[in-house]
Chains A and B, each alone.
Chain A
Amino acid sequence: MNTFLRVMTASAVMAMAGLVGQVMAATELVVVSWGGAYTASQQNAYHAPYMKRNSGIKIINDDSAGSAVAKLRAMSQAGNTTWDLVDAVASDAMMLCDEGLVDEIDHNRVLASAPDGTSATDDFGDFIVSPCFIPQIVYSTTFGYRKDKVSRPMTSVCDVFDLVNFPGKRSLEKKPINNMEWALICDGVAPAKVYDVLGTDAGVTRALAKLDTIKSNVVWWTAGAQTPQLLADGEVIVGSTYNGRLFALIEEQKQPVAMLWDWQVFDLDGWVVPSGGKNKAEVMKYLRFATDTQRLADQAKFISYGPTRASSAPLVGKHASLGIEMAPHMPTDPENAKTTLLFNYEFWADNRDDLDAKFNAWLLK
Chain B
Amino acid sequence: MEQSPDKNILVTADGIPLKTSLARAQRRSKFVAFMMVFPLLFFIMIGFIVPIVDMLFLSIDNSIVNRILPNTVESLKNWDPYANELPDEAVYASMVDDIKKAKKAREHTKIGTRLNYESSGFASLFRKAGRKVQKIDKPPYKEALIKTDKRWADIYTWQVIKQNSSDLTDGYYLAAFDFTRKFTNGKVEPLPEKDSIYIKLFFRTLLLSTLITFLTFVIGFPVSYMLANVPTRISNILIIFVLLPFWTSLLVRTTSWIALLQQEGVINDFLILIGIISEDGRLAMIHNATGTVIAMTHILLPFMILPLFSVMKTIPKSYLRAAISLGAHPWVAFWRIYFPNTGPGIGAGSILVFILAIGYYITPALVGGSSGTFISNRIAYHISNSLNWGLGSSIGVILLVIVLFLFILYDRIIGIKNMKLG
Contacts and interface: CB of A to CB of B under 8 A. Distances in A.
Kindly name the residue among A99, A353, A365 whose own CB sees the greatest number of chain B CB atoms within 10 A.
A353
A361 B116 contact: no
A358 B195 contact: yes
Q: 3 shortest A-B CB distances, which residue pairs? A: A100-B106, A354-B120, A363-B370
A219 B194 contact: no
Interface of A: 95, 98-101, 169, 174, 219-220, 222, 233-235, 346, 349-354, 356-358, 360-365
Contacts of A365: 194
Contact of A349 (B124, B196, B201): B124
B325 to A, nearest CB: 58
Nearest to B110: A99
A95 B109 contact: yes
Contacts of A350: 116, 120-124
A310 to B, nearest CB: 27
B157 interface: no
B123 A364 contact: no
Given A219-B287, A349-B124, A235 B106 contact: no
Contacts of A174: 370
A349 B127 contact: yes
A361 B178 CA distance: 10
Given A219-B287, A233-B264, A353-B388, A361 B123 contact: no
Contacts of A360: 197, 378
Given A363-B370, A364-B201, A233 B120 contact: no
19 contacts: A95-B109, A98-B108, A98-B109, A99-B109, A101-B106, A174-B370, A219-B287, A220-B287, A220-B370, A233-B262, A233-B264, A234-B264, A346-B124, A350-B124, A351-B121, A353-B117, A354-B120, A361-B195, A361-B197
Given A220-B369, A233-B262, A364-B370, A349 B197 contact: no
A292 B120 CA distance: 39
A267 to B, nearest CB: 16
Contacts of A352: 386
B130 interface: yes
B387 to A, nearest CB: 10
B365 interface: yes
Nearest to B118: A353
A235 B197 contact: no
B77 interface: no
A353 B194 contact: no
A210 to B, nearest CB: 16
B106 A99 contact: yes
B67 interface: no
B75 interface: no
Contacts of B378: 360
Contacts, number: 65
A260 B145 CA distance: 46
B19 interface: no
Kindly name the residue among B120, B122, B127, B386 whose own CB sees the greatest number of chain A CB atoms within 10 A.
B120
B28 interface: no
Given A219-B369, A346-B124, A361 B194 contact: yes
Nearest to B122: A350
Contacts of A363: 370
Contacts of A222: 365-366
B327 to A, nearest CB: 56
Nearest to B116: A353
A349 B120 CA distance: 9
Contacts of A233: 262, 264-265
B263 interface: yes
B24 interface: no
Interface residues of B, number: 32
Contacts of B127: 98, 349
Contacts of A346: 124
Given A354-B120, A362-B194, 5 more contacts: A169-B263, A349-B124, A350-B121, A353-B388, A364-B197
B200 interface: yes
Contacts of B263: 169, 235
Contacts of A358: 195
Contact of A353 (B120, B201, B370): B120
B328 to A, nearest CB: 51
A353 B130 CA distance: 21
A263 B192 CA distance: 33
A140 B124 CA distance: 24
A361 B366 CA distance: 19
Nearest to B107: A99
Kindly name the residue among B130, B196, B264, B370 whose own CB sees the greatest number of chain A CB atoms within 10 A.
B370
Nearest to A365: B194
A169 B108 CA distance: 44
A350 B262 CA distance: 38
B98 to A, nearest CB: 16
Nearest to A208: B194
A98 B123 contact: no
A353 B180 CA distance: 14
B370 to A, nearest CB: 4
B369 A357 contact: no
A356 B195 CA distance: 11
A354 B121 CA distance: 10
Nearest to A349: B123
A40 to B, nearest CB: 26
Contacts of A219: 287, 369
Contacts of B116: 349-350, 353
Kindly name the residue among B116, B117, B197, B201 whose own CB sees the greatest number of chain A CB atoms within 10 A.
B197
Interface string B355-380: 00000000001100110000000100
Contacts of A351: 120-121
Nearest to A352: B386
A174 B364 CA distance: 13
A101 B107 CA distance: 12
A346 B125 CA distance: 10
Contacts of A356: 386
Nearest to B192: A361
Contacts of B369: 219-220
A362 B370 CA distance: 10
A121 B124 CA distance: 24
A198 to B, nearest CB: 11
B348 to A, nearest CB: 33
A235 B401 CA distance: 40
Contacts of A354: 120
A362 B194 CA distance: 7
A98 B262 CA distance: 45
A27 to B, nearest CB: 29
Nearest to A175: B385
A204 B294 CA distance: 35
A69 to B, nearest CB: 11
